[in-house]
A = this chain, B = another copy of it.
């Protein structure tokens, strides 16, 4: 790759002059500037961002730590965070922790060694308290507030309420909620059940609660447990799931049991990722404003990097998107 020296030789100027031109320092004749530009073009010279970073406190990279990349929800989160990070001049260093605490710890420290400007963390597992002394702004995405961090979440309680009201309004009287948990971790997503339960109690409708226990964070298939639950409670006529990926599997199980959706049983998912509009029937779901949440996370991180005061918690609204499954 061409170096600063090559550019100097090609343009017939001193290295220090070329450096001044590149950094816009001091008086430079139009002619010198032109010959440097020509040399840069001819040699396809690329200034060294690593060297530039040495003179700054940090790089303009953001560390993005997710527990899973392929999962439709995180794929969408990554997509939007990458987009808005680039808009603000940041590059994204991507880390997949696969939900393992020791990996999350290792990746946060690795981010520090790479002198990232900030970290966005989408995994629920690790406590962030110990990392304050690194002095790197950390923004949590759909996780509870940890001391010294800012978090972005959607209104999970409202989401559960909207789902319950939708199913009850459409005539369902025997409801079921299917959520997934990982060990004993507290996740904001658990609030979806809380909102769902509130409405069921208010409106006097019975409901069953099924927890899918994930053996690992990136487990995705639960057909067996779903099948068992529907067989155990055959009167069920409305199911609310904690994600569209689970809702898609409810549809599969129903087809296997020859239960008509939405005729005999109605299904509401959560997230509104691509998958929800690609299944047959397509899935009625709670739209999580992932794009707006991503934009907000990057903006708050950017402000924290500039040492502005930022909100420690930002909650965005959700809404019901009706499709064929209800």
Q: Which of A29-37, A90-98, A185-193, A208-216 is the interface stretch?
A: A90-98
- In the complex, A161 has a CB within 8 A of chain B: no
Instruction: Looking at the assembled complex, report how far the CB atom of A128 sits from the nearest CB atom of chain B, in whole angstroms.
Output: 13
Q: How far is B279's CA from A252's CA once the two chains are assembled, in angstroms?
A: 7
Residues of the B chain whose Cβ atoms lie less than 8 Å from the Cβ of A69: 75, 78-79, 82
- In the complex, A102 has a CB within 8 A of chain B: no
Q: Count residues of A near B (Cβ-Cβ below 8 Å).
A: 61
Q: How far is B109's CA from A2's CA once the two chains are assembled, in angstroms?
A: 12
- In the complex, A53 has a CB within 8 A of chain B: yes
- Return the contact of A48 from the options B2, B51, B113 (Cβ within 8 A): B113
Residues of the B chain whose Cβ atoms lie less than 8 Å from the Cβ of A54: 50-51, 54
Quick one: closest B residue to A92, CB to CB?
A: B94
Q: How far is B47's CA from A245's CA once the two chains are assembled, in angstroms?
A: 41
| Contact code string A104-141 (vs B, CB < 8 Å = 1, else 0) | 00000110111100000000000000100111100000
- Sample of 11 A–B contacts (CB below 8 Å): A43-B133, A69-B82, A70-B273, A70-B274, A72-B75, A75-B78, A79-B96, A82-B94, A91-B93, A92-B94, A252-B278
